[in-house]
Amino acid sequence: MSDLVARVNDANPNPRLACVLALDTSSSMSACEGGQSPIDELNDGFELFCNEISTDEVACKRVEIAVITFGSTAQVALDFREARDLQPQRFTANGLTVMGAALDLAADELTRQKQAYRSADLNYFRPWFFVITDGQPTDGPAFELAAQRICEIEAANGVNVFAIGVGGGADFAQLAKLSKVRAPLRLKGLSFKEFFLWLSASMATASRSKEPSRDASGNTTSSEQVSLPAVGWGEVAS
């Protein structure tokens, strides 16, 4: 089997909905404010997400998740896997905030995953990409180039981008550079559990949608825009 086909379970004929979560694991995520730290709440929320998405009989076969973490380095913490194979993982916080490197890594992973779907003759929905951070990028020039790259993929209907800031240190002016379609949102307090419950339910619904048509490059030719009814966990950053 080729490396591309090996990235997917081609014995599963279901269409796929890929999602990359780029999670800030810099040192500031360990700061406690009257209770658990943001990284603890993030970990608890991710565990809840793993448990919820894997119980949906359709989503568990159609949704595929990858996790990228970024502190002083960006790395693939969890490579793409079907939701039924998703297991909780505890992330640790340390270092800086190389968000640009994380964006580039996410773009690479999404591109390879879409190529893998096409190689395995699997249909797929427009992928989702979430960036969750409590700070600002510390790799400024790399961030600017990577943000432009993400916007270009979005403009070609290649991805749905969601930027979410946590706490008072999040730089929403920088997060706004990641999407021309959606303004960044501010997480209400540390409502990670509420966010991940929303994400599980939303992906389960989207995975049941009519399969989209695609152009020669594999991007969606019809609208797959995703609304973000963030009531309960988020608000538009002012």
All domains in the chain, ordered by first residue: 5-210+231-236 (3.40.50.410)
Going residue by residue through the chain, which has 238 residues, state the pLDDT in tens, using 9 for 90 and above.
Answer: 334 444 789 899 999 999 999 999 999 999 876 678 999 999 999 999 999 999 999 999 999 999 999 999 999 999 999 999 999 999 999 999 999 999 999 999 999 999 999 999 999 999 999 999 999 999 999 999 999 999 999 999 999 999 999 999 999 999 999 999 999 999 999 999 999 999 999 999 999 988 777 777 767 665 566 665 656 799 888 6
For the whole prediction, is pTM greater than 0.85? Answer: yes
- HEC secondary structure over the chain: CCCCHHHCCCCCCCCEEEEEEEEECCHHHHCCCCCCCHHHHHHHHHHHHHHHHCCCCCHHHHEEEEEEEECCCEEEEEEEEEHHHCCCCCCCCCCCCCHHHHHHHHHHHHHHHHHHHHHCCCCECCCEEEEEECCCCCCHHHHHHHHHHHHHHHHCCCCEEEEEECCCCCCHHHHHHHCCCCCCEEECCCCHHHHHHHHHHHHHHHCCCCCCCECCCCCECCCCCCCCCCCCCEEECC
pLDDT score of 220? 67
